[in-house]
Structure 1
Amino acid sequence: MDSNILWQQYFNSKEVNLKNQLIEKYIELVKIVAGRLYATYGNHLDFDDLVSFGIFGLIDAIDKFDPEKNVKFETYAQIRIRGAIIDQIRNMDWIPRSIRQKAKLIDDAISKLENSSKIESITDNMIAEETGMTVREIQNVMQQTSAYHVVSLEEKLIDATEENSLADLKSELPEERLINAEVKELLIKGIKELPDKEKQVITLYYYEELTYKEIGAILGVSESRVSQLHSKAISRIKYQLL
């Protein structure tokens, strides 16, 4: 059935079987969004779990979508789907308290080393000496917390998008402006003000969609160092959005 006809029939009747047809029609959109997020959260969750979370977002999008507002359903739905997945991931809170405590020690050690020695490239060995942890422990903590930092940032961006943009789609008009202009400006400003290596990591990770291993090979540093740079960059950017 033609999409426009299907939507029109659903809006007029709200029949469950028509809603199910819309869900089936756009399920691939859920898989696309879940696939992108799986690259980040795959160490903690199954792809099927992400799809399940995303389906709730799709259903919510179908329920709340208004065709009279000048925005494509696919654009609107992706925000709802992504938001639903991030929300579920946040609620799962998979990082043990002991790991969070170690991550705090590592962050404090990095800050101390940066402020005291002005060393551009802080090594895992330096952090190990400062914290009393082994290099393996540090690398393990970095790997476990890297996805958490991404969740935290994406959650804030989604919250800003939901609050500032989806509340009145008519005022935003083009789908390119679904993310509030002020949030975009702050995010761009935050990225521009990052130190060069952190800026490179953010660019390669989010825009080029490279893995830590691939980024490490390009920058000539270890995966744990990439994770470290990523975490520091996310913290700086989040501060710009507070």
Structure 2
Amino acid sequence: MVVAKKPQNTLLLWQAWKDDGDMDAKKQLIEHYLPLVDYAVNRMAIGLPKTVSKDDLGSNGVMGLIDAIEKFDYSRGNQFETYASWRIRGAIIDGLRQGDWVPRSVREKAKKVEEAYQLLEQKYMRSVTDAEISSYLNVTEKEFASILQEIAVTTVCSLEDPIREEEAETRLSLLVDEKAKNPDYKVHEFYLKESLIQGIDKLTEKERTVISLFYYEELSLSEIAEVMSLSPSRISQLHSKAILRLRGALAKHKDQLMQN
């Protein structure tokens, strides 16, 4: 997480903007927190097609930052950077979706692989192999690896999506602090956390390492490749498989909630 350097007058700027409607204060806040946009753009650009312009990502990110500044309630004492970061990411993702940058055929492949992981791992109650997934999908293991590479760009931000609109808490945040107790803790969030933990337990050692380095240590996929002495494409495949497995775990959690 990038934390913008806070000048001594940041609180005064928030007060001037929120309490007095000072547009100049709002402009200064936008300029002050722009590094959050740069960070999100550089991180999300990993693995995206070269046809996707960083300038376009940045423009959408700035819109997300402005939206965050307009909606943030500084009086509650929450950290703005956390709230703004997922707003920025959300705006960038919305822009990508509106631009239809991922062909429908790729999205359909990602969905089929996700469903395959969900069904087979529920059936066998363990982590399934590439060979088993390939057999289920009626493709060779080489073709499956190619599919993973093709759908890699659809799996980058899955864990960092917010649980609920208007809140900064993400699915990933539920795995971070085992001791924290929130008085507003929801039952379904508890089971969501359990589903994620169970899903991570089913990942292979390499997949868990990639998830840890990418989402917790915030290394890029190329940096992870160096750490693990693997090719960037192999790291991308491991990341995609891990995310698709976790999506399957979350889908199972959602189905259970609907039955209750």
Q: Same fold (TM over 0.5)?
A: yes
CA RMSD in angstroms comes to: 4.2
- Structure 1 8/49 Cα, relative in aligned 2: closer, same or farther at 3 Å? same
Deviates more, 1:101-110 or 1:142-151: 101-110
What SS does the aligned partner of 1:150 have? Answer: coil
- Structure 1 20/229 Cα, relative in aligned 2: closer, same or farther at 3 Å? same
Contact 2:83 2:168 in 1 (8 A): no
User: Which residue type is aligned with residue 59 of structure 2?
Assistant: S
Contact 2:207 2:242 in 1 (8 A): yes
**Offset, 1:165:** 5.5
- Structure 1 81/197 Cα, relative in aligned 2: closer, same or farther at 3 Å? same
What SS does the aligned partner of 2:52 have? Answer: coil
1:62-141 map, 5 Å:
62-100=69-107, 122=131, 131=139, 141=147
Q: 1:7 & 1:13 partners in 2: Cα distance?
A: 9
- Structure 1 228/177 Cα, relative in aligned 2: closer, same or farther at 3 Å? farther
- Structure 1 223/3 Cα, relative in aligned 2: closer, same or farther at 3 Å? closer
1:150 aligns with 2:156: yes
What SS does the aligned partner of 2:76 have? Answer: coil
Q: Deviations over 1:137-196 (max 9, x none)?
A: 766543331011234x24xx5241436657xxxxxxx9x999x86344543332122233
Aligned with residue 67 of structure 2, among 60, 63, 68: 60
1:155-194 map, 5 Å:
157-162=160-165, 182=190, 183-194=192-203
**Offset, 1:95:** 2.3
1:218 aligns with 2:228: yes
Q: 1:239 & 1:106 partners in 2: Cα distance?
A: 10
**Offset, 1:237:** 0.6
User: Which residue type is aligned with residue 131 of structure 1?
Assistant: V
1:206 aligns with 2:209: no
1:195 aligns with 2:204: yes
Contact 1:30 1:54 in 2 (8 A): yes
User: Which residue type is aligned with residue 73 of structure 1?
Assistant: F
Contact 1:194 1:233 in 2 (8 A): yes
Contact 1:212 1:223 in 2 (8 A): yes
Deviates more, 1:96-105 or 1:191-200: 96-105
Aligned with residue 243 of structure 2, among 234, 237, 241: 234
More helix by share: 1
**Offset, 1:67:** 1.7
- Structure 1 163/185 Cα, relative in aligned 2: closer, same or farther at 3 Å? farther
Q: Which TM-score applies when normalising by structure 2?
A: 0.64
- Structure 1 98/35 Cα, relative in aligned 2: closer, same or farther at 3 Å? closer
Contact 2:61 2:88 in 1 (8 A): yes
- Identity, % of aligned positions: 39
Q: Deviations over 1:9-42 (max 9, x none)?
A: 1122213232212111211221122222222436
Equivalences, count: 222
Structure 2 unmatched ranges of 5 or more: 1-7, 170-176, 255-260
User: Which residue type is aligned with residue 216 of structure 2?
Assistant: Y
- Structure 1 63/44 Cα, relative in aligned 2: closer, same or farther at 3 Å? same
**Offset, 1:55:** 0.8
